[in-house]
C-alpha cells in the first residue's frame, strides 16, 4: 500500500470528526429508530482504540517517550 506521508494530526482531525458525527447523529431515540448508529459508534470506538494503541507503539519505538499532547488526545 502506498504511503501518503500525511501528518498524523490531519488524519486524526478527520477521524475525530467522524466520531463526533456518529455521537451526535440520530436524535434522542436513535437506539430505537436507527439501531445501527449505536452499533457503528461502538465499532468506531474500537477502531479508535486500535489506532491510538498503534500510534502510541510507533511513538515509543521512535522516541522512547510519549508525547503528553498525543496521549491526552488519545484518552479524550
Q: pLDDT by residue (tens digit) across 22-57?
A: 999 999 999 999 999 999 999 999 998 898 888 888
More confident residue, 33 or 73: 33
Name which of 62, 28, 59 is nearest 73 in CA terms.
59
Which of 8-12, 19-23, 26-30 is predicted least confidently?
Answer: 8-12
Average pLDDT value for the chain: 86
Amino acid at each position: 500500500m502506498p504511503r501518503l506521508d500525511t501528518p498524523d494530526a490531519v488524519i486524526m482531525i478527520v477521524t475525530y470528526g467522524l466520531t463526533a458525527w456518529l455521537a451526535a447523529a440520530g436524535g434522542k431515540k436513535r437506539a430505537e429508530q436507527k439501531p445501527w448508529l449505536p452499533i457503528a459508534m461502538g465499532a468506531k470506538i474500537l477502531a479508535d482504540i486500535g489506532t491510538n494503541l498503534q500510534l502510541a507503539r510507533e511513538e515509543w519505538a521512535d522516541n522512547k517517550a510519549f508525547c503528553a499532547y498525543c496521549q491526552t488526545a488519545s484518552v479524550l
